[in-house]
Amino acid sequence: MASARGTIEMTLAMAIAGTTGWLVMLSGQDAIAAVFWRCLFGAVAMLIVCFWGNAFRRGAITVRQLFLALAGGVALVMNWVLLFAAYSDASIGVATVAYHTQPFMLTALSALLFAEKITLAKAGWLLLAFVGLLLIVTGGESGQGYGEHYLRGILLALGAAFCYAGVAITARYLKTVAPQLLVLIQLTFGALLLLPLSKLNVSDYHINTWLVLIALGAVHTGLMSTLLYAAIGKLPGNLVAALSFLYPVIAVIVDWAVFDHRLGLWQFSGGLAILLAAAASHFNWTPGRKLLMTDTAKTKRQRGERQQYR
């Protein structure tokens, strides 16, 4: 029962995440202003969640953890700003797929900071993702209705992926902090950071603009984060990783349905290669080992059959 509920929560969270780009474009705001409002309204939503979940108990976070959370907040805000900026240059679908090179960014950072070894299998999946990225770039450059800043959009998405890897690195040291409290701290800090940089023409906002911005913060940040963390507590890691790939798929579908941005053959092939490589990295797939295990199991079964007829 808990697993079924967790699956529903994770699916809803990824469906909400997949429509984030749509709301960003619908808001009519530049990337910095959109992230500012997302942080502000998201912080209000997470404040309610934290009160509801009693996240403000004594000793909930240490001073050292607070500074790490703030550092993660900087990376999170930069991640959103770069990704939102990539939407208008490379389209929502393409930017989101390119953004899902983040597992490999995390692998590279872990190798540099923690001396973690990169296995031959992971290097192979990294190469596949790189080939997929080249296919996406080539597909967009070959003239399929994308803007002149298409390549810049890809680079912005890759920068966002790198920043998100930084968020994941800081999260390694914050496992004992309630995730709702962590998100609240980072969103509040993000709003404070972006306020001086944001060009907010509030007098020009219509009621629809406000509704979109509130949804971006309350629904696409507060509710999505709550559903995500609730699902993670109920599901095994492999199922969480599998369901997380609904996010780019939904983003591509929304981009096609709403903005009529269709992936060309090369872009589709490149996106498929990136998502396959990311999934393989998540699940630690090793083709050679899998083949060896299959052959071993087949040999054991044949031996068992021979012994049965003796």
Predicted confidence (pLDDT) per residue in 203-251, tens digit: 889 999 999 999 999 999 999 999 998 888 888 877 888 888 899 999 9
208, two tokens: 């629809």
What is the structure's pLDDT at 56? 86
Q: What integer pLDDT is reported at residue 157 of this predicted model?
A: 95
Confidence of residue 147 (pLDDT cuts 50, 70, 90): low
Distance CA 22, CA 36 (A): 17
Out of 84-98, 144-158, 269-283, the most confident range is 84-98
Indicate if the pLDDT at residue 298 is higher than 70: no
Model confidence at 74, pLDDT cuts 50, 70, 90, reads: very high
Which residues lie closer than 8 Å to 36 by C-beta, 6 or more apart? Answer: 190, 191, 194, 195, 197, 198, 200
Any alpha helices (H) in the chain, and if so which ranges?
2-18, 20-27, 31-52, 63-90, 92-99, 102-114, 120-141, 150-171, 179-194, 207-217, 224-232, 237-243, 246-259, 265-283, 287-308
Distance in angstroms (rounded) separating the CA atoms of residues 130 and 12 = 30
Average pLDDT score over residue span 279-307: 57
pLDDT above 70 coverage of the chain, percent: 89
pLDDT-based confidence at residue 150 (cuts at 50, 70, 90): confident
Q: Are 142 and 266 in contact (CB under 8 A)?
A: yes
Residue 140 is predicted with a pLDDT of 65
What is the pLDDT, as a whole number, of residue 310?
40
pLDDT in tens, 89-119: 989 999 999 999 888 888 888 888 777 787 8
The neighbour count for residue 45, using CB atoms within 10 Å, is: 24
Q: What does the mean pLDDT of the chain come to?
A: 85
> Residue range 149-154: average pLDDT?
89
Task: Give the pLDDT band of residue 305 (cuts 50, 70, 90).
Answer: very low
Across 52-68, average pLDDT: 89
In this prediction, residue 306 has a pLDDT band, given cuts at 50, 70 and 90, of: very low
**Nearest Cα to Cα of residue 86 among 100, 74, 73:** 100
Each residue's pLDDT tens digit, 3-48: 888 899 999 999 999 999 999 999 999 999 999 999 999 999 999 9
pTM score, whole prediction: 0.85
Q: What is the pLDDT of residues 128-144, one digit of tens each?
A: 888 988 888 877 655 55
CB atoms within 10 A of CB 228: 21
- The pLDDT-based confidence of 146 (bands split at 50, 70, 90) is low
Per-residue pLDDT at 75 exceeds 90: yes
Q: What is the DSSP letter of 301?
A: H
Q: What's the CA gap between 258 and 8, in Å, rounded?
A: 25
Residue 219 has a pLDDT of 96
Q: How many CB atoms lie within 10 A of CB 70?
A: 16
Query: Is 70 exceeded by the pLDDT of residue 309?
Result: no
Of all residues in the chain, the percent with pLDDT exceeding 90 is 47
DSSP-assigned letter for residue 145: S
pLDDT band at residue 289, thresholds of 50, 70 and 90? low
